[in-house]
């Protein structure tokens, strides 16, 4: 196992995206379907953030 995989905290960004997407939709409506959609959109934005914006950045 490489050190890159052992110390990877990318999952944190996906959780933050999921929760932020759900919280933003929840603040507007309480319909469960829209909240799930907001979570999915949050995951998509987290993936775009990790793969396009911070790809290859040294920490």
Tell the residue number behind the tokens 């979570």, with chain if given: 39
In this structure, the chain runs to a length of 59
31: nearest Cα among 55, 39, 47:
39
What pTM value is reported for the model? 0.75
pLDDT of the residue at 8? 76
Instruction: Give the integer Cα–Cα distance in Å for 23 and 53.
Output: 23
**pLDDT of amino acid 6:** 56
Report the distance separating Cα 28 and Cα 57, nearest Å: 35
**pLDDT over 70 (residue 4):** no
**Which is higher by pLDDT, 55 or 52?**
52
Q: Which two tokens stand for residue 47?
A: 């993936």
The residue among 30 and 20 whose pLDDT is bigger is 20
């Amino acid at each position: 196992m490489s050190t890159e995989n052992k110390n990877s905290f990318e999952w944190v960004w996906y959780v933050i995206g999921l929760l932020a997407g759900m919280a933003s939709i929840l603040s507007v409506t309480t319909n469960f379907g829209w909240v799930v959609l907001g979570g999915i959109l949050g995951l998509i934005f987290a993936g775009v953030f990790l793969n396009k914006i911070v790809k290859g950045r040294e920490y």
